[in-house]
Amino acid sequence: MYIYRDLVHLFNSFFRNNSGELNLVGKVLSIFIVFIVIKVLLRVLNVLINKAVKRRKNSKFAVDSRKLNTGAAVLKNVIKYILYFIGIMIVLDIFGVNTTSIIATAGIGGLAISFGAQSLVKDIITGFFILFEDQFSVGDYVKIADLEGVVEEMGIRVTKIRDFTGELHIIPNGNISLVTNKSRGPMSSYVDVRIAYEEDTDRAIKVIQEVCDRIKSSNDSILEGPSVLGITDLGDSGINIKVIAKTKPMEQWALERQIRKEIKKAFDEEKIQIAYPKFIIQDKKA
């Protein structure tokens, strides 16, 4: 009992002034404690959310993992904003600002506008519409304006996508007006093969189709095809033959690479020449 009383007296002597209010050191320490508590709470809640998502994925009534990841990311963002807002209100209260009257007179929306955060409101509203309409989810490959990449994180304020170079693009939701989602539904693969004019086109098409049939039997990402569409162009250096197919999302590029590789091997075996630019040099003196 005496120890507790001594500790209280020691605290008051260090962190309170004569009128019993927190001095500057006490206020700084209180702010530090507030944000440490917020950090700990965020970490604990994030762990709990991750565990809940994992259980849901492994349950009998499993939900699409991309939607679960998106929902978890948004929930984490909402909790983060709420906790930091509470923290800011506590800090203002520590410095003697009447936060109750601020919120009562201005309201949350008015408070945001008074701090010059109109764009924040736009970002949040757009973010909710993106989520409500399920325009894209975490893990989708999307094109937003001139940026393309995989959605790594979705929040109520910003969306983060990472492109093939590894760069992370952070886009305010209010700036998102046109989205192309390349992960919904079957994706198309197109491969153009150009052969020399000297080659037999029927024989080349037959060899290409045989390659396509072999690939189809061993690749479970293919939904339709691949098949030879036919001759689509008579170019300067050769005849263009197009191959088309449909695949599962995000598998189209791998299939295109596989088709090109196998066609090249088959052409080498069958001695079919791939077209390339040729130049004829005439000696006028002769």
User: Mean pLDDT highest for which of 85-89, 98-102, 113-117, 257-261?
Assistant: 257-261
Using omega within 30 degrees of 0 as the cis cutoff, is the peptide bond preceding 226 cis?
yes
pLDDT tens per residue, range 170-205: 998 888 888 898 888 888 999 999 999 999 999 999
Residue 170 lies in a domain: yes
Looking at the fold, whether 34 and 77 belong to one and the same domain comes out as yes
Domain at 68, CATH number:
1.10.287.1260
Interval 226-242: pLDDT, tens: 999 999 999 888 999 99
Choose the final residue of a domain: 163, 181, 199.
181
- Residue 127: closest CA among 193, 198, 88, 73: 73
- For residues 112 and 14, what is the distance between their CA atoms, to the nearest angstrom? 37
User: Do 153 and 168 reside in the same domain of the chain?
Assistant: yes
Closest alpha carbon to 185 in 91, 99, 249, 261? 249
How many Cα atoms sit within 13 Å of 64 on the Cβ side? Answer: 11
Please report whether residue 127 resides in a domain.
no
203 part of a folded domain: yes
The parent domain of residue 85 ranges over: 2-116
Residue 226 domain-assigned (yes or no) = yes
The predicted structure's pLDDT at residue 11: 47
Q: How many domains does the chain have?
A: 3
Of 219, 193, 217, nearest in space to 272 by CA? 193
User: Residue 275: which of 258, 263, 262, 259 has the closest Cα?
Assistant: 263
Do both 100 and 157 map to the same domain? no
Buried b (16+ CB within 10 A) or exposed e, 190-220: ebebebeeebeeeebbebbeebbeebbeebe
**Amino acid, res. 270:** E
- What's the rounded Cα separation, in Å, for the pair 166 and 170? 13
